[in-house]
Amino acid sequence: MPLFSERKKAPFLSLLVLLSIFTVRCAAQSKPSSDFSTNAEHAGGNEFTVWGGYSPNSPKLIGVTEDRHLTMVGFGYARVLLANEVVAWKFTIDTVPLILVSQPTLGGTEIAQPSKVPAALQPLISRRTTYGIGLMPVGFQFNFRPRRRVQPVFGINGGFGYFSTRDVPVPASANFNFMFSAGPGVQIFTSESRSITVGYRFHHISNADTGNPFNPGIDSNFFYAAYSFHR
């Protein structure tokens, strides 16, 4: 019996919606003047973040698996290494206590490419969700126009995830996988020491050919929202 059924996915999606509403309310309640600026992104500055996101699909760019849904919730820390009037360069670390991978199954077994299942068996395809945890210990983020209220950002990070109940994404792959992500976003300061971020990451999960014998990999279009405290 799966640890998380598809019916139980709704509470986690609701959590992401609540996080997005919370960040919007924070922005609405703080109305900086037109000459608002911030010095939060100075060299040596610290940032503490809570974030969550969801991917509704799995394109085949590096990985070959199809029809995966990825949900993640995490906590992040960032340290500004260098900063000037043009860009701030930050080192980032993220812990991910919640990773949910919703996958198609046939006969109780995950399948990599449901589109190749014969039409007669398509009605038998169902879904189940696997739970994991992760750590992204190495990452970098670049904030452009770091003195402005609205700052375009680009981030990249890497780490690993562990799934305790079964191999991901298919049997005989691995329950320990490596992860990396990269993509753009926008960070909006609601005060001199508070900000919200919304963005997109291309996210990849694979076992780096350590599976026995499979390494199909999962690519995800991951959309996220975050709320940060700066010191």
Distance between CA atoms of 231 and 193, rounded to whole angstroms?
7
Name the residue with higher pLDDT: 35 or 84. Answer: 84
Q: Residue 37 has what pLDDT?
A: 81
Closest among 159, 7, 129 to 67, alpha carbons compared:
129
Give the tens place of pLDDT for each residue, 34-44: 556 889 999 99
- In the predicted model, is pLDDT for residue 18 greater than 60? no
Break the chain into its structural domains and give their ranges.
6-30+39-230
Assigned token pair, 143: 């904030």
- In the predicted model, is pLDDT for residue 19 greater than 70? no
Give the tens place of pLDDT for each residue, 129-155: 999 999 999 999 999 999 999 999 999
**pTM of this prediction?**
0.85
- In the predicted model, is pLDDT for residue 57 greater than 60? yes
Assigned token pair, 54: 């969801």
- 186-205 core/surface letters (b: 16 or more CB in 10 A; e: else): ebbbbbeebbbbbbbbbbbb
Q: How does residue 11 score in pLDDT terms, banded at 50, 70 and 90? A: low
CATH number belonging to the domain at 6-30+39-230, selected among 2.40.30.10, 2.40.160.20, 1.20.1060.10, 3.40.50.970: 2.40.160.20
How far, in Å, are 4, 51, 81 from residue 220 at the CA level?
20, 17, 29
Do the Cβ atoms of 129 and 5 come closer than 8 Å?
Answer: yes
